[in-house]
Amino acid sequence: MQPLRFVTTNSGKVREAEEYLEGRYDVEQLDYDYTEIQSDSLADIAAHGAREAFDARDDDVPVIVDDAGLFVNAVGGFPGPYSSYVEDTLGVERVWRVAETLDNRRAAFRCTVAFTDGETTETFDGAVQGRIVAPRGDGGFGYDPIFEHDGETFAEMNTEAKNALSHRGRALAKLADWLAER
């Protein structure tokens, strides 16, 4: 099985990628805090991180980096690329308190997975639409308890159900197709 190194500090992401790519790729986590460049583009952030993480190791194992965020329509896509900072500073419960004051609570999760093997760097995007609700459920991670899609929050779904719909699942599906065709 082909090894694939997932560079992230977030074990929730690795769980999802393992479940998705199981049997085809041997996914290992590298807990490495790559430089997150300032950009509005998840793809630029992820591609830069992937190349940096690849260069930091002296083997040929391909790496993937995933940059994701929650984009709330009525507030210009906030917190978007700053989702991690907002989760750490404000917290998910207070993001709900802010969203509660909005008439339109529609939002999207977006994700870009960047792959590099040192020679080729490719990015794969995924998005899912939903709305912000009061926290429910104790699965998943991050903003999952306040993101509802088709009547269920992502925190109320198991990993398989979330992957079938989620921003990350869609990006991983594109990556897997691309890898299979190489």
Task: Give the 3-state secondary structure of the chain.
Answer: CEEEEEECCCHHHHHHHHHHHCCCEEEEEECCCCCCCCCCCHHHHHHHHHHHHHHCCCCCCCEEEEEEEEEEHHHCCEEHHHHHHHHHHCCHHHHHHHHHCCCCCEEEEEEEEEEECCCCEEEEEEEEEEEECCCCCCCCCCCHHHEEECCEEHHHCCHHHHHHHCHHHHHHHHHHHHHHHC
- Draw the binding track, 84-103, toward ligand ITT (x: CB under 6 A; -: no contact): x--x----------------
One of 10, 73, 121, 159 touching ligand ITT (CB under 6 A): 10
Catalytic residue among 44, 66, 67, 88: 67
Among 151, 144, 148, 137, which Cα is nearest to 168's? 144
Q: Is 67 a catalytic residue?
A: yes
153 contacts ligand ITT (rule: CB under 6 A): no
Q: Nearer Cβ to ligand ITT, position 30 or 179?
A: 30
Q: Nearer Cβ to ligand ITT, position 80 or 180?
A: 80
Quickly count: other Cβ atoms within 10 Å of residue 11's Cβ. Answer: 12
One of 143, 148, 170, 171 touching ligand ITT (CB under 6 A): 143
- Draw the binding track, 39-68, toward ligand ITT (x: CB under 6 A; -: no contact): ---------------------------xxx
83 contacts ligand ITT (rule: CB under 6 A): yes
Q: Nearer Cβ to ligand ITT, position 46 or 181?
A: 46
Binding residues vs ligand ITT (CB under 6 A): 8-10, 13, 66-69, 83-84, 87, 109, 140-144, 154, 166, 168
Catalytically annotated residues: 67
